[in-house]
Structure 1
Amino acid sequence: MNIFIAILACEIGFWVVLFGGLATRYLLRLRRLSTVLLLCVPLLDIALLSLIAWDLGVAGATADFTHGLGAVYLGFTIAFGHQIITRVDAWFSHRFARGPEPERVPKHGPERVAHEWKEWGRMLLCAVIATAVLGGITWLVGDPERTAELVGWIVRVWAITAIWLVGWPVWVTVAEAGRPVAKR
């Protein structure tokens, strides 16, 4: 099976399970069933990780771009998944259950700076998880020629993490430090 198709299936599955769980919660008012559905989200990550490991280990495939992308996708879903679910849940609650309006990302001030550092912290977690998955699979396969692409992905994910650091939290921190303080 093509790993890229598996990644797409997991992404589509994520949104189907998420919207199904929230629709069950807010439209059908079946909170327990909704919780069960939402707890199925991590099963998609386990399935993808298992498929990547099987493809490289048992099937003897040589790692390509999609194997590395799958590992980074896993890191992303673990690091950012809860936040995404929480934000979509807040929107659903507001739209269908008269919940409060979801919080917006602050535009300026210390709140914006804190937001950018928290987001980068999630990216840092993503990079650590992706590196662990990539390194773990490389170690398990035990064939540097077949897993060279995975090592390249470790470099890519840390380069993206560094760019994110400079482009967002550092940039916003410096920009906000130079902003005049609003009078109340």
Structure 2
Amino acid sequence: MVYALIAGCEAAFWILIAAGLIARYPLGRRRLGTALLALTPVVDLVLLVATALDLRSGGQAGTAHSLAAVYLGFSVAYGRRMVAWADARFAHRFAGGPAPRRLYGREYAIECWKGLPLTFLAVAIAAGLLWALISIAPDPDQVATLTGSFRVLAIILGADTLWTLSYTLWPRTRPGGASWEPPGPGASQPRAQFRP
């Protein structure tokens, strides 16, 4: 059941984002679009409550519960950035907004450093949720999978830190040119780019 909830919540998250952006841009209904986008945290709340209730009612704590905690942590931490990423592309496609730029060199490294605190936040939220799930699990023998997920969170955090350091030391170069060019006079600042 928890796996189905995670899949359903992930689908609902993107459906709300798509519906909100369609309402905002092609349909020109900004208030409706904003309301739909504002509902995305409700999806996370539904998953959190359902996961807790499943454990509380005697559900076997397992990988699905761990995955739910990790999913919620990253959805809360990165949700706003994902919405901004999608919004920039809809604005370009339907409202004449600037084309999203691919970042290179120092600009890309800066975005990596901006994303690293979000990963710390995501891991902290997921760890807190795991502790909460462990505390309400009816049988202490069930929590081995949940406690094992802390290692996964440490690996995720370490991998993102190494990714950020690697692109700081060895910047991604622009195809056929320098790794970074200063923006010209009057150039607008790039929108924040979501790093998948």
TM-score by length of 2: 0.83
Residue 28 of structure 1 deviates from its aligned partner by 1.2
Query: Of 89, 92, 104, which residue of structure 1 is paired with 2:90?
Result: 92
User: How many pairs were matched up?
Assistant: 176
Query: Of 146, 154, 158, which residue of structure 1 is paired with 2:154?
Result: 158
Greater shift, 114-123 or 140-149, is seen at 140-149
Distance in 2 (alpha carbons) for counterparts of 1:150 and 1:156 = 10
Residue 165 of structure 1 deviates from its aligned partner by 1.1
**Alignment pair present for 1:20 and 2:19:** yes
Corresponding residue number in structure 2 for 1:31: 30
Distance in 1 (alpha carbons) for counterparts of 2:35 and 2:181 = 49
Percent of aligned pairs with the same amino acid: 35
**Alignment pair present for 1:169 and 2:164:** yes
Distance in 2 (alpha carbons) for counterparts of 1:181 and 1:89 = 27
AA in 2 matched with 1:120? L
Corresponding residue number in structure 2 for 1:79: 77
Q: Secondary structure at the match of 1:61?
A: coil
AA in 2 matched with 1:175? W
Distance in 1 (alpha carbons) for counterparts of 2:138 and 2:164 = 38
Distance in 2 (alpha carbons) for counterparts of 1:142 and 1:118 = 40
CA contact (8 A) 1:56 1:141 kept: yes
Q: Deviations over 1:66-102 (max 9, x none)?
A: 1100110001111111111001011101100111222
CA contact (8 A) 2:105 2:180 kept: no
CA contact (8 A) 2:104 2:180 kept: no
Corresponding residue number in structure 2 for 1:116: 112
Residue 182 of structure 1 deviates from its aligned partner by 7.2
Runs of at least 5 residues in structure 2 that lack an aligned partner in the other structure: 172-177, 183-196
Corresponding residue number in structure 2 for 1:70: 68
AA in 2 matched with 1:138? I
Residue 164 of structure 1 deviates from its aligned partner by 2.1
TM-score by length of 1: 0.89
Q: CA 1:181/1:30 → structure 2, altered by over 3 Å: closer, same or farther? A: closer
Distance in 2 (alpha carbons) for counterparts of 1:142 and 1:61 = 9
CA contact (8 A) 2:58 2:138 kept: no
**Alignment pair present for 1:133 and 2:129:** yes
AA in 2 matched with 1:83? R
Q: Which has the higher helix share?
A: 1
Q: Deviations over 1:18-46 (max 9, x none)?
A: 00011011111111111111111001000
Residue 118 of structure 1 deviates from its aligned partner by 1.7
Distance in 1 (alpha carbons) for counterparts of 2:49 and 2:180 = 52
- The Cα RMSD (Å) is 1.9
Distance in 1 (alpha carbons) for counterparts of 2:32 and 2:181 = 49
Q: CA 1:24/1:147 → structure 2, altered by over 3 Å: closer, same or farther? A: same
